[in-house]
Structure 1
């Protein structure tokens, strides 16, 4: 009985020890790939970063640019929206001023500001002009607000690209001996590591 057990153990260990060489090579390459996968991991990017940046800019203009790290764009955003808002307020005040003077004339009263200077038709024309300018200013406010959101979104998309390669531009200037005129050139070089 003992001999039988020894034979079973001996054959079992021998059959386990004898693997095919191809199986060993496959196992080694799989282990190398696993080690390489662990050592090489690309920096994960936040897939929601563009949506977050756009949302932040929609809530508070310029906040998406701050989220992206483009702090220098914030004064441009507020300058564009603020200037448009200033002209909207200015044109609204002027429109109301001319409208009130026109209404006073229609009611039969004299207006102190434009009496003798402007006719009723001049007051109507001024109202039309300031109303049109007010509407343009409102369109500019809305346009710059939307542009702010789009800029934050696009900037967040572009921040996900790696720019670690060495990119250079070289100019070339060589004399052309056949024509006697200089040859100018420009080359774009990408250095890959």
Structure 2
């Protein structure tokens, strides 16, 4: 007697299992973005070039305005101070070259008469002039650099205010049904779109 047995097996399914599509369920972003103004960075830079800090006010970064004025004001202060000192030493040096001994660096005795030899020599006056001229020029360059940095800050800040990361970089929750394990997967996805 010949007997053939055929056997079929079935996977036992849960009575709670839910059949869903393999598509991701994505929750839409609720942030509404305004239209992008391509001239906003150039406007902010222009405003900062006209009046330092005005570009920061245009970008609504009001806390940066005192920093801009403190930086530029410090550079202007050092420029004026070094220029005044340079003029003092230069006028004393010119006075000595003309044959006078009454400048402030010559010195006087108790009675108010000029001393026999000066407290600061002619070489000392020349070195002081050179030093204060270098300091004056350096403070002018630093002030111009801070002014340019004010303009660059307003421009870059205006660019970054409009930078949109909603579509290119997003973390979104997702729900996916895993058919191999007969279970559902819940998680977060990080999507990069270039």
Q: Which interval holds the TM-score relative to the shorter structure?
A: 0.5 to 0.7
Residues 42 and 75 (structure 1 numbering): CA distance in 2 closer, same or farther, change over 3 Å?
closer
The structure with more helix, counted as a fraction of residues: 1
Count of equivalent residues: 131
Tell me how far apart the structure 1 counterparts of residues 34 and 57 of structure 2 sit (CA, whole Å).
Answer: 22
Higher relative contact order (CA 8 A, sep 6+): 2
Aligned-pair CA distance for 1:141: 1.0
Cα distance in 1 for partners of 2:129, 2:35 equals: 57
Report the counterpart of residue 104 of structure 1 in structure 2.
95
Q: Quick one: distance in 1 between partners of 2:81 and 2:170?
A: 51
**Closer/same/farther in 2, CA of residues 112 and 166 from structure 1, 3 Å limit:** same
Could you list the per-position Cα deviations for residues 18-47 of structure 1 after superposition, in whole angstroms to 9, with x for gaps in the alignment?
xxxxxxxxxxxxxxxxxxxxxxx8531111
Distance 1:96 1:85 in 2: 16
Are residues 1:87 and 2:69 paired? no
State the alpha-carbon separation in 1 of the partners of residues 83 and 41 from structure 2.
36
Gaps spanning 5+ residues in structure 1: where? 1-40, 168-188
Take 1:48 and 1:190, find their aligned partners in 2: how far apart are those partners? Answer: 34
Give the secondary structure class of the aligned counterpart of 2:128.
Answer: helix
For 1:99 and 1:111, the matched residues in 2 are separated by 14
Report the Cα distance in structure 1 between the residues aligned to 2:133 and 2:121, rounded to whole angstroms: 18
**Distance of 2:162 and 2:121 partners within structure 1:** 62
Runs of 4+ in 1 over 2 A off after TM superposition: 162-167, 189-192
| RMSD value, Cα | 2.2
Q: Decide whether aligned partners of structure 1 residues 78 and 101 sit closer, same or farther in structure 2, where only a CA change above 3 A counts.
A: same
Change (3 A) 1:104 1:190: farther
Q: Aligned partners of 1:190 and 1:127: how far apart in 2?
A: 67
**After superposition, where does 1:163-174 map in structure 2 within 5 Å?**
none
Q: Secondary structure in 2 aligned to 1:81? A: helix
Q: 1:52 aligns with which of 24, 32, 43?
A: 43
- Residue 123 of structure 1 corresponds to 125
In structure 1, what is the equivalent of residue 150 of structure 2? 148
